[in-house]
């Protein structure tokens, strides 16, 4: 369906060769956009690469997609991607930070090198692409691309709820939430929007889930049937002119279900006596705050309801 909603728009999508990223690329080009599709064909833990993957994907997509097989963590990647978009497609309007790796381990079994590798791919590289791309998106405001520019960050409910053993991944994704909000603020005057999508879709990531509870087992069984295409369609919506006023928000897409998430704000306020005792604080917390406490449930437990496909 090419309704021309994104005709003339140019995007960079990371992690574009498969799963959610590929679905986003397919939908963006179906609405007329052209895409620099970045993917190094990483294994799920990021330890090995297969550059042929993105070349094959781009070829299947046709002229609207240019492959970039460099790792997003490679020095110079971000500037190279922006230059490629401008030189080959004549500009840049859309950034989709989607690529991610996982190295799950309980805190008491993990190691710092794995944590840093996950943060480097899932968070630092996303920052670096925005660092390289946002000057161009700001410049758009002074050209025929005025009032145009979109940043989409692919987050995860693992950061919003938490899940066992995902200290590195959830930390990186929580960092992306902050980055998404800052991008919304920093770019507001240029008419550039910034939003997050927490996706739910069958991918090799879903296949690796090791259920820790019966509800997580239900989640996994259902998740393996969820197509990624609706995430691509919602991304195209956020990129379209119809979403020009939507920024700083966190959405979820699970098949035909779409969610908007709350964001942390104070739920209750209490004033202590001067120099309160620990008993005073205990009493205050129990009476004023305990009713607002957040349950310690994982995202997989929370979304073990049957998806609508």
Task: By CB under 6 A, name the binding residues for ligand NAD.
Answer: 14-15, 17-21, 38-42, 44, 46, 71-73, 98-101, 121, 154, 156, 199-201, 203-206
Q: How far is the CB of 101 from ligand NAD (least distance, A)?
A: 5
Q: How far is the CB of 244 from ligand NAD (least distance, A)?
A: 25
Among residues 30, 71, 161, 169, the one annotated as catalytic is 169
Q: How far is the CB of 53 from ligand NAD (least distance, A)?
A: 7
Residue 156 falls in the annotated catalytic set: yes
Query: What whole-number distance in Å separates Cα of residue 165 and Cα of residue 212?
Result: 11
Query: What whole-number distance in Å separates Cα of residue 115 and Cα of residue 122?
Result: 11
Residue 219 falls in the annotated catalytic set: no
Q: Which is nearer to ligand NAD, 187 or 201 (CB)?
A: 201
Query: What whole-number distance in Å separates Cα of residue 85 and Cα of residue 287?
Result: 56
Beta bridge partners of 68: 38
Under 8 Å between Cβ of 45 and 22: no
Polymer length in residues for the chain = 309
- Name the E strands within 52-133: 65-68, 94-97
Q: Which is nearer to ligand NAD, 37 or 192 (CB)?
A: 37
Residue 173 falls in the annotated catalytic set: yes
Query: What whole-number distance in Å separates Cα of residue 58 and Cα of residue 56?
Result: 6
Q: Which is nearer to ligand NAD, 140 or 157 (CB)?
A: 157
Q: Which is nearer to ligand NAD, 147 or 227 (CB)?
A: 227
Q: How far is the CB of 83 from ligand NAD (least distance, A)?
A: 17
- Name the E strands within 134-244: 150-154, 193-200
Active site residues: 156, 169, 173
């Amino acid at each position: 369906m090419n309704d021309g909603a994104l005709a003339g728009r140019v995007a960079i999508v990371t992690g574009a060769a498969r799963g959610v990223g590929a679905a986003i690329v397919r939908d963006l080009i179906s609405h007329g956009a052209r895409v620099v599709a970045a993917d190094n064909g990483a294994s799920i833990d990021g330890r090995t690469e297969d550059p042929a993957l993105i070349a094959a994907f781009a070829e299947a997509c046709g002229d609207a997609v240019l492959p970039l097989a460099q790792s997003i963590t490679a020095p110079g990647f971000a500037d190279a991607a922006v230059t490629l978009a401008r030189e080959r497609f004549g500009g840049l309007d859309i950034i989709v930070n989607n690529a991610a790796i996982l190295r799950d381990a309980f805190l008491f079994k993990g190691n710092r090198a794995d944590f840093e590798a996950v943060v480097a791919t899932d968070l630092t590289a996303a920052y670096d692409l925005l660092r390289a791309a946002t000057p161009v998106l700001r410049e758009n405001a002074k050209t025929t691309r005025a009032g145009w520019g979109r940043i989409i960050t692919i987050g995860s409910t693992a950061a919003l709820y938490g899940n066992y053993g995902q200290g590195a991944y959830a930390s990186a994704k929580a960092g992306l939430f902050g980055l998404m909000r800052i991008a919304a603020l920093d770019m507001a005057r240029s008419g550039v929007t910034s939003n997050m999508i927490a996706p739910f879709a069958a991918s090799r990531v879903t296949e690796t889930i090791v259920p820790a509870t019966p509800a997580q087992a239900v989640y996994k069984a259902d998740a393996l049937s969820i197509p990624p295409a609706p995430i691509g369609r919602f991304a195209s919506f956020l990129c379209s002119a119809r979403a020009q006023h939507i920024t700083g928000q966190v959405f979820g897409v699970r098949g035909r279900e779409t969610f908007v998430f709350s964001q942390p704000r104070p739920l209750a306020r209490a004033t202590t006596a001067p120099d309160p005792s620990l008993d005073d604080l205990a009493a205050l917390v129990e009476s004023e705050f305990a009713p607002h406490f957040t349950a310690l449930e994982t995202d997989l437990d929370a979304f073990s309801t049957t998806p609508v496909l």
